[in-house]
Amino acid sequence: MIVVTAATGQLGRLVVEGLLAEVPASEIAVAVRSPEKAADWAAKGVDVRLADYNRPETLADAFRAGDKVLLISGNEVGQRAPQHLAVVAAAKAAGVALLAYTSVLGGDEAGFRLADEHKATEAAIRESGLPFVLLRNGWYTDNYTGDLAGTVERGGPVGSSGEGRVASAARADYADAAVAVLTGEGHEGRAYELAGDVAWSFDEFAAELAAQSGRPVVYRNVLPEEHLQALLGAGLPQAFAEILVDVDAGIARGELARANGDLARLIGRPTTPLAETVKAALQA
């Protein structure tokens, strides 16, 4: 059985839909916090299991011996290490055949704070003795296109990454990579550095927005402190705003510009271009 955790999230849903196109529903299970949100899959024959990262007692029955498990990282920054370690412990106790984990680009070499919990999870996975695959996902282009209308209206994005570049890809590309690993062979023990084929700068991102929207859009690069204040002014919590400013420092250092082709090779096609994701977001 292939088991996908956090399956009702944005990445998880794409992974499950991709799996359904490749294998029978009877070979797929979803481990989710709210089973009612997976009712559409249950109707198709997918096995729905309860699994709440914050309630370790629910994890004991989420996995079976021989399962291939995709651990999709949680979204509660600061809480993810204990959440993930609980999943790893449950997977080990169950005797799963493979544990794949959506980590972060660069792994142990990543110098931004957002990577710390991923590093802790990777260490726990290695120490568990389980067969594993590390899917070190780079940035999703979708992270920057969620509010494109607002970005255009404000005259463009604001950040502190300087001339740094981001080798992003569409969320669907990373989902396809997970599907390829879960349905394929020969991936055990691998750590894939997954990123888009082309690394772009925020000046180029702004230029693409301007070209497609027909509006004046420019990237405004500011000092980290000014960037922090802008994020706080937008209503972000202090801790999360600080994390985002730290990520921009990592972008400025070139840490998210790795474009080694791993992602395109796994999915068997070029990664989705920035312009295509921008177009889809503006049309939406």
Q: Same domain, yes or no, for 159 and 240? A: yes
CA 29 from centre of chain = 20
Round to whole Å and give the CA distance between 28 and 67: 10
Q: Same domain, yes or no, for 148 and 276? A: yes
* Predicted pLDDT of residue 211: 96
Residue for token digits 């080798």?
A: 167
Among 242, 237, 275, 264, residue whose Cα is nearest residue 144: 275
Q: Residue 26 belongs to a domain with what CATH number?
A: 3.40.50.720
Q: Same domain, yes or no, for 131 and 233? A: no
* Predicted pLDDT of residue 225: 96
* Predicted pLDDT of residue 146: 86
User: Does residue 22 fall inside a structural domain?
Assistant: yes
User: Does residue 185 fall inside a structural domain?
Assistant: no
User: Does residue 184 fall inside a structural domain?
Assistant: no
With H, G, I as helix, E, B as strand and everything else as coil, classify residue 76. Answer: coil
Low-confidence ranges of the chain (pLDDT < 50): none
Residues facing 137 on adjacent strands: 104, 194
CB atoms within 10 A of CB 222: 14
* Predicted pLDDT of residue 77: 82
* Predicted pLDDT of residue 76: 83
* Predicted pLDDT of residue 50: 95
* Predicted pLDDT of residue 129: 97
Q: Same domain, yes or no, for 126 and 161? A: no
Residue for token digits 């493979």?
A: 98
Q: Same domain, yes or no, for 223 and 202? A: yes
What residue numbers bound the domain in which 107 lies?
Answer: 2-137
Q: How many domains does the chain have?
A: 2
Q: Same domain, yes or no, for 79 and 205? A: no
Q: Residue 231 belongs to a domain with what CATH number?
A: 3.90.25.10
* Predicted pLDDT of residue 219: 97
Q: Same domain, yes or no, for 116 and 156? A: no
* Predicted pLDDT of residue 79: 85
